């Protein structure tokens, strides 16, 4: 799967200290893929960083070729976003 990062996603990776290697890992093998607004898909995985559990979430537009990452962020609010039924 070929994926391109928007300028915004690149800036957010840098600003939020999310390595491109970690983002690539989430994009290649997400633990969950959930529908989002505007026909976009959320790729998300739980990861441990500095001894703490976080959820890495990447918003992807799969209607483009190549698929495009719109934004990416990490959150400690796993219960808010994780879907037990997925």
DSSP summary character for residue 37: G
Regions of the chain where pLDDT drops below 50: none
Contacts of 42 (CB under 8 A, 6+ apart): 32, 33, 34, 35, 36, 57, 58, 59, 60, 81
> Cα–Cα distance between 85 and 42 in angstroms, integer?
15
Q: How far is CA 69 from the centre of its chain?
A: 8
Q: What is the pLDDT of residue 38?
A: 86
What does the pLDDT look like over 72-83, one tens digit per residue? 999 999 999 999
> Cα–Cα distance between 49 and 68 in angstroms, integer?
25
Q: What is the pLDDT of residue 1?
A: 65
Q: What is the pLDDT of residue 18?
A: 94
Q: What is the pLDDT of residue 39?
A: 85
């Amino acid at each position: 799967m070929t994926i391109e990062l928007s300028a915004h996603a690149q800036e957010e990776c840098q600003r939020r200290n999310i390595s491109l290697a970690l983002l690539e890992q989430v994009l290649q093998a997400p633990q969950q893929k959930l529908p989002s607004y505007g026909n976009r898909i959320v790729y998300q995985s739980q990861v441990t960083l500095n001894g703490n559990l976080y959820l890495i979430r990447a918003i992807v537009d799969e209607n483009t070729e190549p698929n495009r990452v719109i934004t990416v962020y990490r959150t400690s609010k796993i219960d808010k976003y994780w879907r037990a039924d997925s």
